[in-house]
Chain A
């Protein structure tokens, strides 16, 4: 595997195959927890850990032909055991070391077990690729997802609360207060964006922008191709 292929494999999750904006996977937590940037970062960290390791483990148990022959008939229960173990470990570590974040993310941490991105990558990629390639894929997808939920939460927190809570765990309290902008404009933050409906509106708007840009690109390519033919 050359460097270019590794780079392509890693970056495909950022834009081209972004799990949230292109393949529209893992939307439940993305809509539920994106009230603060900090939540998105926490969810991203949890998913990053689980996705990289689940891809690695799935690849390890399916990579060697002998082991693959044993595992493939029961691959779904095997994936569930592997992913659930990793999620429970993540949950325990978060409860011990990032307790406030653990409380905020609540049920969405154990629900990573049934996150479509994890299963999707295990079945569609890790089960057919080498361990290292699978880890790179997992890292790229997790970072792509994290960037996507950070984007949504930035939008929602700025408009809904007038703040950007980057990290407020333990003694750290990195919160940017943007109320001065609202004061300057003489308006208040829009509560709706902090509520579930705000999540849907934000997600819909971002998807619309992405669709518009990719349609425009496709149109341009079509015109260019037609021009070449002439």
Chain B
């Protein structure tokens, strides 16, 4: 058996693994990334499954990826560019539609068509949500303090955390009222939150979408308001809350990261699934892969979700019992599916006037919060939603690299889809039935849609688990609720990217600040590894 020795092994070549690896390679360490699939990227991947069309197979839009990371890793050099959205729309059964635009006043004029009150309330709402985004922004790149520890680092960290919570830097400090608002925001349901501003169903439904994407919560579940914030706290060039397409699909993010990693001497090994962590005297010293290879390193960083890391590749005997119990209890429920569709031409959506920029970004057809909650009810029973919430977009409208001119790639994210399908679970037949159901739902708003389909890829939570390795297909690698956020993520007492197993770290979305193609968990984890190895670090992020 070849004995490969490195400074650091990173398990999993998703965006966080590659971010962590790149930062460590840039700091001068010898880093190897082991990936189970024969392609790299994890859930940030672009694959050509049908000739001529590139799909963003899993994640499909970008906003959360921290600009400091893009800058430090010089991702533009390796081909990354983000193209901002033009707008978003919800189509209505009566033939009307609701839109948001890049321009604030155009959005207000558009909302006014549905409700005068809502148009004006939108000003107040945007201000309040933006305030929350500003509060959370500095927290994203911090290692959460351990609130039970009396180490100076944690005491100062807690103060620093509290300081940012009172938005001392970003907002010059908040008053009592604003701090109360923040606390309420983190625990409320999105329905209750929106009710405080808006009256029309369509306004509420359009805005609530961001609060349910990827989560196993419904719009009436407490905590769903935070999920909305999680989708709003990103930015495209300083425009907070904006989303965009990665040119060339989401895979161009991980490809760019790999470019940076390789330029700094790092290595990525595809088709190398890690089966177990090798330990010696209670310390992690290496990993073994499916194909029989063994790799040894001073530090091992897992980019797998917390359950996979500690229940699959680490042996229970190497971990404290209470820790294992907490990991077992970690909520990571799959709730979403996806269709990637190769289209011969742009489908007509008669609800949206031709040329309206509102059709340039995400499109939906859920008109009320009740419908959304109904879709969630189906999920609770183990069924896919009969009347699902979809987040559809056609990146090829803005990105010339996804399909030939005139042809289009459409991404359809579907909420809710269960991991444990009732009555026998998922099989090929039921997967195709699910795909057909979604195509039918979309066809109700696009008469020529079906005729334009060349090929489509159906993704269920089961696939996401099997292929990408996300437990139960949860796209955030763990529910984004207060009990699993910040110093509670993934497990209280272990929120600083270190694990109970010495020399073993975790850098995945199961850690603070959580899911989405953000890169922050990877960069934060790399900082802790470098600190422990006494390697000086530099960059905009740190």
Q: Do A and B come from one complex?
A: no
